[in-house]
Amino acid sequence: MIKDHISHSQIQTGRCMLKYKKLVIDEEYHTGNERQTLGNCVHKIVYTYGKHLLKEKMDADYDAMVKIIDHYFDEFNLSENLYRDVRKALILFGERGMSFEKVLDLEKLWKIEFSKGKFIYAVIDRINTYQVGSKTIIEIIDYKNHLNILSKTDVDNHEQLALYRYLACRFIHKGFDKVRVGIHHLMHNWITWGEMRSIDDLGREFEAMEGYLLRQYARLLEKGNFEPTMGNQCYEYGGCPILLDGKCPLFKKKKVEEIYRSNDVKSMVTIIRTMDMHRQQMIDRVKDLVKDKTFFEVEGKLAGYVPGDSYSYDAAKVIDFCKRYNVSCDLKDFNVKSVERLFKDYFKPDYKGIEPEIVKLRIIKKSTRFSYK
């Protein structure tokens, strides 16, 4: 069906116009893969829980969260065994809750005429507001349930958040003094905030965003050119469904197999990056906790910090990781070498063939800088 509006997900899909034609206009491949089902379920749970807190005027309600999780896990047919981590993360989210008094909007669909006769639709996960001294603050929050945690720079340069900030401050809630955007990483119950900005200083960015949207509008709705274009869109979210279906004219069968395998590598890398980040956070926390002790015990094993030497305080996480992938890993360090060993253990004889790919991906955090081109 030809659309009469654009949205952020359409702009993303439209980086390849063949994908846009198949997924958005022809509405093919809409069942989604397992990861997308999980994502939808998590969103539904968080949204239902948020609504419940607002209705009951509560900051947190653990019992209600457990019931909501059970209900939607059942409805989406998700096995608790497979998604125990997700369940745990959601329960943590339920325990911490949110300050209901700050919430201005929760997952509302906005239909906005950003230019005469041109509409954009957006669902903003959460908008908060509060007062600091004489200043009114607005916060725009997007929920993500991937494992990697974005940095402050990533958040400041995030296309979707820049767009939502523009829509919120220009059209939805005018008259605030300051704004900041944030990504709530549901799997870690952690929000990475961007810079707090004065709304008066954002005029040029808002103009640039309007120009960007006008160009996207023309490209998606007015031109009718449906050529395939290779890029990140072929690989993200587990791979383009047209590609995985073997129907993309730009990829041969061999490449499709490589992508399937590279998805495995990428999930490993994501997990390792996350573990590494946890490890660094734990080091700081534990340094504080055990100022005068050198070692302590985690799950029956010693872990500790020796100044100037290699160490890992995140022993529990490493043990958990090793158990999950059925590999052994020495607890002292979680450096490039031990990561390499984890990969070798996991991929066994295939490791040699995919080593260059792993080296390319390993622990290198790519910034997702956004430009208005």
Q: Which letter, b or e, does each residue of 46-72 get, where b requires 16 or more Cβ atoms within 10 Å of its Cβ?
A: bbbbbebbeeeeeebbeebbeebbeeb
Among 39, 50, 194, 228, binds ligand SF4 (CB under 6 A): 228
Among 11, 14, 19, 182, binds ligand SF4 (CB under 6 A): 19
Shortest CA distance to 276 belongs to which of 363, 342, 343, 358?
363
DSSP H helical ranges for 218-348:
241-244, 253-289, 315-324, 336-347
Nearer to ligand SF4, 28 or 210 (CB): 28
Dig out the tokens for 309 from the structure.
């030497």
Name residue 176's amino acid.
F
- Site stretch for ligand SF4 (CB under 6 A), options 49-57, 230-238, 287-295, 341-349: 230-238
Shortest CA distance to 184 belongs to which of 268, 89, 272, 271?
89
Least separation in angstroms between residue 350's CB and ligand SF4 is 23
Q: For ligand SF4, what does the binding mask look like between residues 240 and 259, x meaning CB under 6 A?
A: x-xx----x-xx--------
- Site stretch for ligand SF4 (CB under 6 A), options 72-80, 169-177, 197-205, 227-235: 227-235
Least separation in angstroms between residue 13's CB and ligand SF4 is 8
Q: Does 234 bind ligand SF4 (CB under 6 A)?
A: yes
13 in Cβ contact with 231 (< 8 Å): no
- Site stretch for ligand SF4 (CB under 6 A), options 65-73, 224-232, 290-298, 352-360: 224-232
Q: Does 168 bind ligand SF4 (CB under 6 A)?
A: no
Q: Does 230 bind ligand SF4 (CB under 6 A)?
A: yes
The string of DSSP letters for 58-112 reads: -S--HHHHHHHHHHHHHHTT--TTTTHHHHHHHHHHHHH---GGGEEEEEEEEEE
Q: Does 21 bind ligand SF4 (CB under 6 A)?
A: no
Helix axes 62-75, 84-96, angle to 10 degrees: 150
Shortest CA distance to 283 belongs to which of 313, 246, 316?
313
Nearer to ligand SF4, 148 or 233 (CB): 233
Q: Does 18 bind ligand SF4 (CB under 6 A)?
A: yes
Site for ligand SF4 in 145-164 (CB under 6 A): none
Q: What is the CA radius of gyration of the chain?
A: 23
Q: Does 186 bind ligand SF4 (CB under 6 A)?
A: no
Nearer to ligand SF4, 256 or 290 (CB): 256
Nearer to ligand SF4, 240 or 342 (CB): 240
Q: Does 183 bind ligand SF4 (CB under 6 A)?
A: no
Q: Does 24 bind ligand SF4 (CB under 6 A)?
A: no
Least separation in angstroms between residue 228's CB and ligand SF4 is 4
SS3 of residue 124 by DSSP:
strand
Backbone angles phi, psi at 125, to 5 degrees: -60, -50
Name residue 66's amino acid.
V
Q: Does 16 bind ligand SF4 (CB under 6 A)?
A: yes
Binding interface with ligand SF4 (CB under 6 A): 16, 18-19, 228-230, 233-234, 240, 242-243, 248, 250-251
